[in-house]
Amino acid sequence: MISYFTTPGNQPKHGIIALLNNGEEDYMWGSRTFGVNPVMPFVHTFLNLEGAGAGGRAVLFRSTDLEVTKAYSSAPNPFGTVVGSDGFALGLIKSQTDYVIFNQVYGARGLDVAFYEPRSMYHTMQDDTRHTSRASLWHMLSASIKTMEALSGEAGDAFVGPRPDHDESKVQNGRGSDGVWFDLVGKGFAVFGLRTLFGWSVSLLIVSPLVLLFVSWILAKSDKYYFFSSKVSSHDSVGGSDAVAINGWRGFFRFPLALIFSSGLVTGSALLLRKLNPLIVYSSSYAM
């Protein structure tokens, strides 16, 4: 990335700081040390590149807000979902990265992108450049370049304005808005505001029952409302007295029973693994 942005014709509109640091596993001292650097107060946004495995696709697993996520949407092969951010926000995922220092300590807005496969190699002797691939590196690099071009080329007011932490000693980088995002089979990226999702959800919750009621009314008026009916009269018979069995209740309990059985099987298997061999998840992803 340094080579790309220092090549004539690729210089960013706004300055970029390339921070290469270590010490993440020891209370993230590498990123904490950046706090005493005189350029730190001028940072508006950040892109944190991580590794939770030796390869695979680089996943966008966390973002501070909607506006910075839109910068990632221009990646040629985007990969990620808002579920990761929600997992960290709810405390379901305990591990942390330098992201928390940049965002929660320095107040910058940004993204977390990381390799995550194969998980069984994480923090082992195989967690190195020898066991990764050019495809993995290219996936992260291509997404990072497009993201940084969008962030450093922002000419609007998306990253300008009062800070959420009201810290007057740092650059005023604005307030982000809540958003929802997910990739479309790794080729497209959907990103929109949380209010938009709320509007669609409320609309579907209202429209769907009305459509079902309307369809049921049409079927009832046509004398074809066969739901939950075990028998119906045959109109072809004399007097219409003959009943035809249609078994309208068949399959009604099939889904809940299948759901209970499959959920119980998965839960029981997980509890069995936890009791007999809880560390198998670190030894072999294929065994899992």
Judge if 115 and 155 occupy the same domain. yes
Q: Is 98 domain-assigned?
A: yes
- Report percent pLDDT > 70 for the chain: 93
- Look at residue 236 in the predicted model and tell me its pLDDT: 56
In the annotation, is 149 catalytic? no
Judge if 109 and 57 occupy the same domain. yes
**Among residues 92, 228, 103, which one has the least CA distance to residue 164?**
103
C-alpha angle 154-5-184 in degrees, rounded to nearest 5: 60
- Name the catalytic one among 24, 67, 117, 149: 24
- Binned at pLDDT 50, 70 and 90, residue 285 comes out as low
Judge if 159 and 274 occupy the same domain. no
Judge if 66 and 152 occupy the same domain. yes
Residue with tokens 């962030």: 151
Does residue 61 contact residue 84 with C-beta atoms inside 8 Å? yes
- State pTM to two decimals: 0.78
- Look at residue 200 in the predicted model and tell me its pLDDT: 94
pLDDT higher than 90, residue 24: no
Give the residue numbers spanning the domain of 74. Answer: 2-197
- Binned at pLDDT 50, 70 and 90, residue 241 comes out as low
Judge if 162 and 89 occupy the same domain. yes
Q: Is 133 domain-assigned?
A: yes
Q: Is 217 domain-assigned?
A: no
Domain end: 197, 213, 240, which one?
Answer: 197
Judge if 159 and 234 occupy the same domain. no
Judge if 41 and 184 occupy the same domain. yes
Hey, is 172 helix, strand or coil? coil
Rounded to the nearest angstrom, the gap between the alpha carbon of residue 127 and the centroid of all alpha carbons in its chain is 24
**Residue at 65: amino acid letter:** D
Judge if 193 and 232 occupy the same domain. no
pLDDT higher than 70, residue 287: no
Q: What is the mean pLDDT of residues 188-210?
A: 95
Q: Is 99 domain-assigned?
A: yes
